[in-house]
């Protein structure tokens, strides 16, 4: 997980290539004994093995079954990006994944722009409220990449919650023969040099 930041990099487009069909996500099981480690304090968090090997395989198969689209040529002001992707709106899956993830997350600091509750200390923290229901799936094959960018913040029109942290779930890695494709902070996906990189993407949402 990475905190969203205002940078001079190019924004990523959040538009979906096309309206997706209704899909059924594979099951997720509750997890125990996972550790959330700070790679960079209040900036980058890492949870190893959030998905089991069996779940990773199921989600890779799921992604391969979808009508993914190659990202179109970038528009003016957008980041250079070459991969196959799809956006899937699913409140149900976002809620299920949040229920599995939330027990392993710390509380998060308020960003500088956020209004703290009356009487809250300057170092006050709060839990993530939910996950963004716009679930994105990414597939990167050899040579594909995502250029330097920052992730757009979005607000949930139903709850008023706003995204502050990006959630990336990597379904394949070196154990699957993948080389390259590292997520470089801040913030780009380097070219895949071997194998196929599969990613699930959402965002941690917070109330005011």
**pLDDT tens digit sequence for 119-171:** 888 889 999 999 999 999 999 999 987 777 677 889 999 999 999 999 999 99
* pLDDT of the residue at 35: 96
Residue 196 resides in a domain: yes
Angle at 97 between CA 48 and CA 117, to 5 degrees: 95
Residue 45 CA to residue 36 CA, distance in Å, equals 6
Residue 27 resides in a domain: no
* pLDDT of the residue at 101: 98
Percent of all residues in the chain with a pLDDT value above 90, rounded to a whole number: 57
Residue 95 has pLDDT above 60, yes or no: yes
Pairing mode, if any, of strands 81-82 and 145-146? Answer: antiparallel
Residue 22 resides in a domain: no
Residue 28 resides in a domain: no
Q: Which domain holds residue 167?
A: 2-9+50-109+127-206
Residue 119 resides in a domain: no
187 — pLDDT class (breaks 50, 70, 90): low
Residue 146 resides in a domain: yes
Residue 16 has pLDDT above 60, yes or no: no
Beta strands in the chain (DSSP E): 2-3, 10-11, 36-40, 44-47, 69-70, 81-82, 84-89, 108-109, 125-126, 130-131, 134-140, 145-146, 149-150, 162-170, 179-180, 183-184, 188-189, 192-194, 197-206
Q: Residue 97 is part of a domain; what is its CATH number?
A: 2.60.120.620
pTM for this structure? Answer: 0.83
* pLDDT of the residue at 145: 78
Q: What confidence tens digit (pLDDT) does each residue in 40-85 have?
A: 898 899 999 999 999 999 999 999 999 999 987 767 766 788 899 9
Q: State the average pLDDT for the chain.
A: 86
Contact 137, 167 (CB under 8 A): no
Residue 30 CA to residue 47 CA, distance in Å, equals 14
* pLDDT of the residue at 77: 63
* Number of domains composing the chain: 1
Residue 114 resides in a domain: no
Residue 61 resides in a domain: yes
CA 184 to chain centre: 14
* pLDDT of the residue at 12: 57
Residue 8 has pLDDT above 50, yes or no: no
């Amino acid at each position: 997980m990475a905190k969203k930041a205002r940078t001079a990099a190019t924004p990523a487009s959040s538009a979906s290539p096309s309206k997706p069909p209704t899909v059924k996500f594979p099951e997720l099981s509750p997890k125990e004994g996972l550790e959330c480690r700070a790679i960079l304090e209040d900036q980058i968090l890492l949870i190893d093995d959030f998905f089991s090997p069996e779940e990773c395989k199921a989600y890779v198969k799921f992604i391969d079954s979808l009508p993914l689209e190659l990202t179109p040529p970038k528009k003016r002001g957008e980041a250079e990006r070459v991969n196959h992707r799809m956006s899937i709106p699913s409140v149900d899956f976002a809620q299920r994944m949040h229920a599995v993830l939330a027990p392993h997350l710390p509380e998060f600091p308020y960003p500088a722009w956020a209004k703290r509750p009356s009487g809250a200390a300057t170092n006050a923290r709060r839990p993530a409220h939910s996950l963004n229901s716009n679930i994105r799936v990414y597939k990167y094959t050899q040579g594909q990449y995502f250029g330097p960018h920052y992730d757009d913040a979005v607000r949930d029109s139903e709850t008023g919650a706003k995204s502050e942290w990006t959630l990336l779930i990597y379904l394949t890695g070196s154990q699957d023969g993948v080389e390259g494709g590292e997520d470089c902070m801040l913030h780009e996906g380097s070219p895949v040099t071997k194998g196929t990189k599969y990613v699930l993407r959402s965002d941690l949402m917070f109330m005011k």
